[in-house]
Structure formats: C-alpha cells, structure tokens
Amino acid sequence: MSSHPMPPVAILPGLLCDSRMFGDAIARLPQAGVIDGFYGGASTIAAMADYALSRLPGRVSLLGHSMGARVALEIVRRAPERVERLALVDTGVHPVAPGEVDNRHALGALGREHGMAALVDSWLPPMLADRSRERPELVAALRAMCIAAGLDIYAAQVTALLSRPDALAVLPGIGCPTFVIVGAEDRWSPPAQHEAIAAAIPGAVLRVIAGAGHMLPAEAPEAFVAVLAEWLAHPATGSPCPAPGDHRDRLA
C-alpha cells in the first residue's frame, strides 16, 4: 500500500496473513484497504504500528485482525487522534501465555526442518471452524496465503508477538466507537475472551458470528461484511458512545 494513499478504512492483518484474507470485504467496501507487505518485515508490535501509521491518512477507521488488532491497539496508544473508530477481530490482550513460547518456536523449528508447508499444515487447521475445514477451496486459499508469507516473516512476527506490549492497559482509555468481533468457533481467541475485551472498553459493541473460527473474515465473509457495515454506520468520534453493555448480540 506504500505507493498509494490509504483508504479511510484501514485493515491490519494478523500472523501470516495478507490482503487475501479480506478479499470479500475489500470488494464490497470500496473505502477499505489493507496494510500489506507484512509490516515491512517488522519484528516488534511498535515497529508494525509505525509502519502502518506512516501509510494511514490523517484519520481512519481502523480494523485489526488477530495480531493486527494488537497493532491497532498500539496505534490507539500512540496516536488516538488518528483513529475515528476501531474494530478488534479474533484477538486477545493477554500477556504471553504459559507454553506459548515453546509452541511458537516448535512451529518455527518444524518449518525450518520440513518447509513452510509443514508449518502451515500444523498451524492452520485448528484456526478454522469445523465446517470451514470441510471447504477445500477455502482451505487451499488460506494455506497458499500463509505458505507464501515464508519462514522469515513467521520468525519476525512471532518475535513481535512474544515481546508484545501490554494491550490490556489501553482498553479503558479508548474513546472512539469500538466493535469487538469474533467467530463463535474461534478456539485460539475464544468468544469469552472477547466478552472481557468488550467489557473493558467504554461503550464497546460485541458481535459473535456463528459458524466461523479464527479466520473469520475469510470463513464467513457475508456476515463479516454485514457487521462492518454496522460498524461504519455507528456514530464516529465526537458523538456519544452507547452505554457499556449495550448492543452485545449474537449473529446467527
């Protein structure tokens, strides 16, 4: 995206993901664009935020998916005046969990020994809802996207995740309209985690999308785009936020 102005809706991808994760959203929301290029190979959340900020317009509606939501929260921490509204999708704000370092490094070792395809074939299936794993075209597309990222990007992004800043502390100070969105079958970042995130953000709106896992934007694009349309119609900064706890519905 570095050679063109960023549209007013900026999407920040997660681990091993690029614009292919959001193809349907971009097609249906022409005002949306993806910060692509794997954040320039950055290996810290702070550097990823700097990479994105240098490509954003003055004010933007900001959507982060998975690791990208942690980048979005770092942008809110650094430059809240740049964020008109915020969407946090399939993510977490917890510190490094027990066993996480070993598990992420084990995947990297698998990739170095047997190739990127072996890493992705171990990592990707648990990220998907049960019925998504039965859709060969979807699995093949996501698999190709993640393999194309390569081992160097995996290593850089895992380094960033394992040294991630405290995102939990950012939540109570968020002043812009915020949606927290998750797939009902997200086992990596489950709905209960998102309920806690939404409860910590003043006026946050929680949306749980049935039949989708961690790769929600690609697994359930129609439902995802419908929630994004609702998000974009929500009053922007400067209008009163809804009362905490309101509008926390489940999408069928």
Whether 113 maps to a domain, the answer reads no
Confidence grade of residue 115 (pLDDT, cut at 50, 70, 90): very high
Q: Is the pLDDT of residue 2 over 60?
A: no
Q: Tell me the pLDDT band of 7, cut-offs 50, 70 and 90.
A: low
pLDDT at residue 57, rounded to an integer: 86
62-91 average pLDDT score: 97
Query: Which of the pair, 244 or 222, is modelled with greater confidence?
Result: 222
Q: Is the pLDDT of residue 252 over 50?
A: no
Residue 131 belongs to a domain? no
- Is residue 127 a part of any domain in this protein? no
Query: Which pLDDT value is given to residue 25?
Result: 87
Tokens 């968020």 locate to 174
**Domains of the chain: total:** 1
Mean pLDDT of all residues in 110-139: 98
Q: What is the CATH number of the domain that holds 57?
A: 3.40.50.1820
Q: What pLDDT, on a 0 to 100 scale, did the predictor assign at position 247?
A: 35
Give domain status of residue 118, yes or no: no
Amino acid letter for position 68: G
Burial (CB < 10 A; 0-12, 13-18, 19+), residue 126, is: exposed
Angle among Cα 191, 197, 120 to the nearest 5 degrees reads 55
Is residue 77 assigned to a domain?
yes
The answer to whether residues 156 and 94 touch, using CB atoms and an 8 Å cutoff, is no
Tokens 């097609």 correspond to 27
Q: Is the pLDDT of residue 168 over 80?
A: yes
Give the helix ranges, DSSP H, for the chain. 23-28, 45-53, 67-78, 100-114, 116-123, 136-162, 191-200, 216-219, 221-233
The beta-carbon contacts of 148-154 under 8 Å, at least 24 apart in sequence, are 148/18, 149/16, 149/17, 149/18, 149/38, 149/116, 150/116, 151/108, 151/111, 151/112, 151/116, 151/119, 152/41, 153/16, 153/38, 153/41, 154/15, 154/16, 154/107, 154/108, 154/111, 154/116, 154/119
Structure token pair of residue 43: 């290996």
pLDDT of residue 32: 92
Query: Residue 6: its pLDDT value, please?
Result: 54
Cα–Cα distance for residue pair 12/18, rounded to 1 Å:
9
Residue 181 counted as domain residue: yes
Q: How confident is the model at residue 107 (pLDDT cuts 50, 70, 90)?
A: very high
The pLDDT tens digits for 24-64 are 888 998 889 999 899 999 999 999 999 999 999 899 999 99
The residues, ordered by sequence, that sit 6+ positions from 25 with a Cβ below 8 Å of its Cβ are 11, 32, 217, 221, 224, 225, 228
Average pLDDT over residues 196-216: 98
Q: Treating both helix axes as pointing N-terminal to C-terminal, what angle do 136-162 and 116-123 enclose, rounded to 10 degrees?
A: 100
Domain extent at residue 45: 9-96+163-251
Residue 115 lies in a domain: no
Q: Residue 121 falls within a domain, yes or no?
A: no
Q: Report the alpha-carbon distance of residue 53 to residue 48 in Å, rounded.
A: 9
- Looking up tokens 């698998």, which residue turns up? 110
Q: Find the largest Cα–Cα distance for the chain.
A: 54
Please give the Cα distance from 63 to 85 (Å, whole number): 8
